[in-house]
Structure 1
């Protein structure tokens, strides 16, 4: 069997770093992007086939273009996984949240992942996947208690834009997975979260390996369960 290849976008820490470790553990060839050099990622480079691309900010179109040029001669990827996300002042009600903060959350969580997917959709191998890290907080039907309104809305926007993206590429040879990682103990999830990074990342990789070869789009969690829209 030929080596499978994954591009992990946003891998300096937390779930991104955990996913790189799990893909390497499963003998994938990994390309990982970061905005700034990451000691954790450098340490993983000794474990397997890991290529690190620093200076990549998905909110910077020129940086994304530069990454595409840098990877032009690399084989296509079986998975392109955009992990990047922010939750700045997520607990602040939207009416009190500075417009600049709300706008940045939508740019990073919803707009930039889709722009990145568009930029790299021709680099996905036949039967491959574009994976976007979302959250069940982005499920409109599950939003009964409110809270984290700006974050919820940004992830709901990502989910909607992803469905539009798939519709615009109806004849594509790849599929799209919107992935809810569970409530994970990271800087974003906090210390009270119920899952550790390793458990979530291992589940995600298992689910994605089983989903390769499928087209269309799905909204799944780290255990492979469907999340309602």
Structure 2
């Protein structure tokens, strides 16, 4: 694979969609820095990546670790910062807000909402002016499309993530970089479960296509894997 010269920082890439997105961009000739919280299969992937994959360690729920990552990458410049890290479910994914424990609720919100935006705030200046900042959102984050309920806490976390990205965009209205909220679909991963509608191979290439297609367009976009706009 020819080296395109493009660079990506993918946060939360040790497994599932983040790992697959890392492998996808490597297959397209990108150079990737990917993060893990604990040792993962990323190291095996790096062995076959001909020097185009660098693995970093960070727990995004620990601000000091995110700041330390920023220091380690101080001399880097990326075309893409993509935050995939997050958790799908509470202990009981069917729990309503009437039933969920405070601890579970707080854990999901810190992992899915607060921490990704802290990562973006901390690492944003590593992204080129022509670059893209993206977050793995979900179609379940859409308020307008929530006609059946279910997965209440997860839905709420993705809606809150979308809202904070919209606030980030408003605060950086003059920033030329593209901001993306990506909805990859319900995918068969450890977190998505075996009953999910899509395989990773049916989702991630489309996610990567959409990210590449929106490079340089600027503005905030809430999109699915086919590049279609998702209802707020």
**Shorter-chain TM-score category?**
over 0.9
* Matching of residue 210 in structure 1 with residue 213 in structure 2: yes
Deviation per CA, 1:114-135: give whole Å up to 9, x if none.
1111111111112111101010
Q: CA deviation at 1:173?
A: 2.6
Q: C-alpha distance in 2, partners of 1:21/1:157?
A: 29
Q: Normalization by structure 2: what TM-score? A: 0.95
* Matching of residue 103 in structure 1 with residue 106 in structure 2: yes
Deviation per CA, 1:70-121: give whole Å up to 9, x if none.
11122x1111000011122322111111101101111111111111111111
Q: C-alpha distance in 1, partners of 2:7/2:202?
A: 21
* Matching of residue 142 in structure 1 with residue 145 in structure 2: yes
Corresponding residue number in structure 2 for 1:77: 78
Corresponding residue number in structure 2 for 1:60: 62
Q: How many residues align?
A: 226
Please, which runs of 5 or more residues in structure 1 have no aligned partner?
none
Q: C-alpha distance in 2, partners of 1:88/1:129?
A: 30
Q: Normalization by structure 1: what TM-score? A: 0.96
Q: C-alpha distance in 2, partners of 1:165/1:157?
A: 12
Q: Which moved more, 1:118-127 or 1:145-154?
A: 118-127
Corresponding residue number in structure 2 for 1:41: 42
Q: C-alpha distance in 1, partners of 2:7/2:49?
A: 15
Superposition pairs of residues 1-229 of structure 1, within 5 angstroms: 3-38=5-40, 40-45=41-46, 46-48=48-50, 49-54=52-57, 56-74=58-76, 76-86=77-87, 87-89=89-91, 90-229=93-232
Q: CA deviation at 1:199?
A: 2.4
Q: CA deviation at 1:2?
A: 5.6
Q: CA deviation at 1:27?
A: 0.5
Q: C-alpha distance in 2, partners of 1:141/1:2?
A: 39
Q: C-alpha distance in 2, partners of 1:101/1:221?
A: 28
What's the RMSD between the two structures over aligned residues? 1.2
Please, which runs of 5 or more residues in structure 2 have no aligned partner?
none
Give the match's secondary structure for 2:156: helix
